[in-house]
Amino acid sequence: MGCTPSIHVNQTGLVICRESEDSNSHIASYSAAYHTRVVKSDGTTETSSGVAVTSLDKQSAFKELVPLTLKQGNESLNIEAQTQTSIRIEMKSTNNEVSLGPMKLKQKTMSILLVFAKEDAQSDGFWWAADKIGYKCYIAHNPETAMENYLDKHPDVVIIDHRNSKHFDAEALCRSLRATESSEHTVIVAVTKRYALDKEEPSFLPSITAGFNKRIVESPNISMCMNELLTLEYGEVQSRLKLSACKAVFSALDNVSDAVEISSEDLEVQYVNHAFERLTGYSSEEVLGKNSSEIVKNDRNRPDLNDTINSQLKKGKYWDGIYHTRRKSGEILPSHCHICPVLGQGGKISHVISIKNSTTDTSHILKESTEFNLVNGRLSRQSSGLHGVPRRKESIARIHSMTIEAPITKVINIINAAQESSPITVVQALDKVLEILRTSELYSPYFAQQNMKDNDPMTSDLVSGLVSQNVKRSLTPSYLSDVNSNSSGKQGHHSHLHIPSPVTSSLSQVPDHIQEILDKDYTWEFNVIELEKVTNKRPLLYLGLKTLTRFGICDFFQVEESVIANWLKLVEGRYHSTNTYHNSTHAADVMHASAYFLERERNKAVFDQMDEIACLIAAIVHDLDHPGRTNAFLVNEKNQLAILYNDQAVLENHHSALAFQLTWKDDSVNIFKNLETDDYKILRQNIIDMVLATEMKQHFQHLNKFINSINKGCLKMDETSSMSGNGSPDSTMMLNQLSAPENKTFIKRILIKCADVANPCRPLDVCKEWGKRIAEEYFLQTDEEKARGLPVVMPVFDRKSIRIPKSQLSFIDVFINEMFESFDDYCDIPELISHLQTNYQYWKERDEESSEKSEQENLPNGTTEDDT
């Protein structure tokens, strides 16, 4: 009758019966209209009528399939009772008992995940082998489903088809699985091709490096598959069960009060617990790999004590007694010590265990003092620990507990809890950490002179001027400052010109010569300076209307295009055209950069339409009604805006507040009028947050948050995508993390900050023009400060001594490089980085030329027209 056939019911409802590979039988198939059952990846079987049955029902299901009539040539083959016996599901008992020394472990029914792109004889072999033994078995056909099943089911064994890479990369999938936290307890097996004896087989080492534990040469024979699975269960899987139990043992050791040390037969230290670290003052890193007797060696122990201990250990006996231990500080402590050997292969010593109990006969060692402290209105007793070092009480976290906890409070509580079981060196280090965490500005850097590049005074002055609210430096006598302060309320120098409203209120009315420039707005090389010239200093209306329309603002706000145009006219009219830099051209430039960034693939994946609209609106209004002076200037002159906003982000608060005031004043310009209340609140919050983020005082705080929260996540995301594709579960999960509200806030802040100061990343001619304009605006501020006797915020911008190339280099070094490199890592903007490098080299060459000319003319800081 031949060998036992294997029966497989595939997903199309076709029952295939195969005899073993030793048989010469052909494969026959028939349509099982009534008996067909579809094997699912969740371990259930579905009948043709749609009724699901579990693996426990499969025995009865197989009985329905027998006898089957298979025609082989002209012969008919009846599968009788013998076949029923051979395909009977022999359910094995679950929860096998496994011993690990004195520990008794329960091994649950092994679960298996098969990853095969297509079901074939090999996947069938493993499936039915698992079914006959009684294992849980799941099957996945692609890496995404495999990862999803793996994270959901946590199988003990994953068997991956490694015979070809046509459908997926087995090694990449293995690396993705190994990147998860629980993978150390999983056995990953590769099914490899069977090669002819005369053909050289490739090395399996790359697969081992990728994370595979074992390989199985392809063979669909069910008996072979059963043997392989049984070997895995009683070998690798049981070993991992024991290793996981070892974690529990080490965790217990770390939480006992006795100092435990484990060393090799040569007394080389292999493990010490936390109590050992506290007792000796050494960290585990300092003692691992060193000789145990040398670490604690001192002259208080008897000269022959070590020989006595070694003699007992060689006999397989333990030693018990008082042993003096030398601490890291040099202090020598007596403690009750128990040392015992662990016998290994051949009855030889494999390890030596040393347990020191410092609580026995330590009245002359531990200087216990009890004092009563008033904590939260109650008397509590605090006990000082070893040698006067305060012992951490278990309830210390309650001191910091609050009914409503802030995130930083939770962090502090976690650290306090960690200190309770930490060695003194770690406790002291964590105390310093707590001291830093309790400061108010965690992400703000310290600007020490030695931290500035090359100790350059120009860089120092530039940074101080941009990130400080006010400057106490004054170039005029104090009595003049008092006199001039009387006129501080005057704002004549802040007057701005209201631009007459142009006739354009629709894209269809844009003149051809303007449209020709606007057609290039999708590129980074777009020149807003040219648009400024041809629009008579009204670039924001034209570019804003085109950009906002591209992002679907009319549909989003449910307003006519004329409302958007009216709003843009109103906003542009409140920008000061007399400012050389902070004018509507700058606003248009920032909006263009923001739109360009929003088109990056990662931002399109992270942001929704509301995010995009918020970014564009914030860019348009971010410098609204800017007076051409810095925050520090307004604070120093006691300007009404500084008084209104308590000297905090004066201009940024004014820009955002005025934008909403103007918008709600007139229905014809109110772009928000048709928004739902909740949507308006979210949009308003986003716009305000982004405008406030443009304050340079908060630059490093926002950048550090972006790097720590976003860049590190993106790096992990990129690594995952490169290994398992963009659609992998890990990649999707990390993308979801980026889309979390708090992370989107960090991204939007850096997006508008990069757009606001993108001038050094523009093409060289545009970069030079913006450099010239910002310098002139700062010159005017310095001139006024000197004339009025106000503190000079940025002395470096003195038109008599300035080196513009040097100021540009300093600005790029301090503010631009790191931020744009981080943003490039996030959303890939190589063209900006290329321009930045070109422009930096240009300014560097101009600065060197200027320095040489100054030396030749014997001037300390010569300047020429070429400098700009």
Two tokens at 346?
A: 């051949």
Q: Please, which residues bridge with residue 113 across strands?
A: 138, 158
* Alpha helices (H) along 486-639: 512-518, 528-534, 539-550, 553-557, 561-573, 584-598, 601-606, 609-621, 631-636
Query: Position 446: which residue type?
Result: Y
Distance, CA of 467 to CA of 631 (rounded, Å) = 10
Catalytic residues: 582
Pairing of strands 14-18, 28-31: antiparallel
Distance, CA of 655 to CA of 640 (rounded, Å) = 14
Closest CA to 623 of 553, 525, 540: 540
Query: DSSP string spanning 11-58?
Result: TTSEEEEE--TTS-PPPEEEE-TTT-EEE-TTS-EEETTS-EE-GGGH
Distance, CA of 398 to CA of 395 (rounded, Å) = 6
Two tokens at 366?
A: 């531990």
Query: Position 760: which residue type?
Result: P
Give the count of alpha carbons within 13 A of 711, CB side only: 16
Closest CA to 136 of 9, 41, 36: 41
Query: DSSP string spanning 161-186?
Result: E-S-SSS--HHHHHHHHHTSGGGGG-
Cβ proximity of 683 and 621 under 8 Å: no
Distance, CA of 125 to CA of 108 (rounded, Å) = 23
Cβ proximity of 79 and 5 under 8 Å: yes
CB atoms within 10 A of CB 215: 13
Map residue 153 onto helix, strand or coil: helix
Cβ proximity of 144 and 118 under 8 Å: no
Distance, CA of 285 to CA of 272 (rounded, Å) = 10
What is the dihedral angle through the alpha carbons of 646, 648, 649, 654, rounded to the nearest 10 degrees?
Answer: -10
Query: DSSP string spanning 232-256?
Result: HIIIIIHHHHHHHHHHHHHHHHHTS
Residue 315 burial (CB < 10 Å; 0-12/13-18/19+)? exposed
Pairing of strands 69-72, 52-53: unpaired
Query: Position 429: which residue type?
Result: A
Two tokens at 855?
A: 């030396």
Phi, psi of 372 (to 5 degrees): -105, 125
Distance, CA of 374 to CA of 673 (rounded, Å) = 58
Two tokens at 398?
A: 């309650």
Cβ proximity of 588 and 531 under 8 Å: yes
Q: What is the sign of the dihedral through the CA atoms of 195, 197, 198 and 201? A: positive
Distance, CA of 707 to CA of 529 (rounded, Å) = 33
Rounded to the nearest angstrom, the gap between the alpha carbon of residue 126 and the centroid of all alpha carbons in its chain is 39
Distance, CA of 354 to CA of 272 (rounded, Å) = 9
Residue 732: its H or E element: helix 729-738
Phi, psi of 306 (to 5 degrees): -60, -40
The dihedral region occupied by 677, where left means phi > 0, alpha psi between -120 and 50, and beta the remainder, is alpha
Pairing of strands 259-264, 52-53: unpaired
